[in-house]
């Protein structure tokens, strides 16, 4: 077993479900990404337009980088529900950073003097391009990275290194004529294959958008209150999603009673979702989403809780609670 094979074997030992090596170079879809930003399809995610030069080439982020070990960590398996699967577990950032640091320490035993840095979706890297270049998977029509035998329900991480490793070859496209993901999106967020307008994506609307959800899109969100898995649920490649994950699952979030969420004050919200990605939405954003979901469900049992929410300290919650009550009343 050569050193590159030993590195990939170590990745599996650390709990990653797949690992490949990519050469650090300009991203294949840098031009398409720039066009996407210019068209405003990133919505309010201004951070995605920062440092465009560094996004195009990871060696500008980590000077001297020659190779990248790209890894996938499986998400905990769970049934479809109002909270995206990835958020029904401990926050993946710390778990992956710890493992990437352990991987770096291992690489240094094979390549003394090597330097590296691990990244987990918090740095300007077009990580799906990097992963696809190294053969970890291909970018599907729903813009998710799909790995053979693994699917797309996983988190991506990268270890940039200043040593030259043998890159793995890309594997090419395997979506064929399938368009289930495109047709299943309730909000019509896909402009076409491989092009997502985030402004219509349920994940964007329930996580990244900080203000009011456009009224014309609220009925299309259904019962989703944080994120969305629909375009992945229908993907046939996810039939082989790994059954195990090193991340601790939160099964209490698989099928929660949405009405109960409206009784949470700030302290209760932080305690209930401590250590999960749901904190990213903040209480006001999360309860905004809960109100929309309850309005779409039209469950009269939610009326008392929504009436109380009309007096919430947050104007955003009050607005969406009133909308939900109108929906339940049939107006």
* Residue numbers annotated as active site: 121
How far apart CA 324 and CA 213 sit, in angstroms, is 12
Q: Pull the structure tokens for residue 113.
A: 């003097």
The closest of 76, 99, 94, 86 to 11, measured between CA atoms, is: 99
Alpha-carbon torsion (233, 238, 241, 246), positive or negative: negative
Residue 211 CB: number of other CB atoms within 10 A?
10
> Is residue 137 a contact partner of residue 148, using CB atoms and an 8 Å limit?
yes
How far apart CA 275 and CA 9 sit, in angstroms, is 29
> Is residue 221 a contact partner of residue 186, using CB atoms and an 8 Å limit?
yes
The DSSP bridge partners found for residue 68 are: 22, 160
Residue 97 CB: number of other CB atoms within 10 A?
15
The DSSP bridge partners found for residue 267 are: none
Residue 31 CB: number of other CB atoms within 10 A?
11
């Amino acid at each position: 077993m050569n050193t590159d094979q030993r590195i990939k074997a170590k990745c599996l030992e650390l709990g990653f479900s797949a690992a490949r090596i990519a050469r650090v170079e300009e991203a294949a879809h840098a031009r398409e990404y720039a066009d996407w930003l210019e068209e405003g399809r990133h919505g309010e995610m201004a951070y995605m337009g920062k440092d465009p030069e560094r996004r195009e080439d990871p060696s500008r982020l980590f000077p001297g980088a020659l190779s990248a070990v790209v890894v996938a960590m499986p998400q905990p398996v769970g049934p479809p529900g109002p909270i995206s699967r990835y958020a029904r577990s401990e926050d993946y950032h710390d778990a992956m950073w710890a493992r990437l640091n352990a991987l770096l320490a291992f690489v240094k035993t094979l390549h003394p003097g090597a330097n590296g840095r691990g990244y987990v979706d918090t740095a300007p890297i077009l990580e799906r391009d990097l992963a696809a270049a190294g053969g970890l998977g291909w970018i599907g029509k729903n813009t998710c990275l799909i790995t053979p035998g693994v699917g797309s329900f996983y988190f991506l991480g990268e270890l940039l290194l200043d040593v030259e490793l043998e890159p793995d070859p890309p594997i090419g496209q395997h979506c064929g004529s399938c368009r289930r993901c495109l047709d299943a999106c309730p909000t019509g967020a896909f402009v076409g294959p491989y092009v997502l307008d985030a402004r219509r994506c349920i994940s964007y609307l329930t996580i990244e958008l900080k203000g009011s959800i456009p009224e014309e899109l609220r009925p299309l969100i259904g019962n989703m209150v944080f994120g969305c898995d629909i375009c992945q649920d229908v993907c046939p490649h996810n039939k082989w999603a790994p059954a195990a994950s090193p991340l601790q699952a939160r099964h209490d979030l698989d099928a929660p009673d949405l009405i109960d969420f409206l009784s949470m004050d700030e302290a209760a919200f932080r305690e209930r979702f401590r250590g999960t990605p749901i904190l990213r939405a903040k209480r006001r954003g999360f309860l905004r989403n809960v109100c929309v979901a309850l309005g779409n469900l039209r469950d009269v049992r939610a009326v008392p809780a929504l009436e109380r929410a009309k007096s919430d300290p947050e104007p955003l919650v009050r607005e969406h609670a009133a909308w939900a009550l109108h929906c339940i009343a049939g107006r």
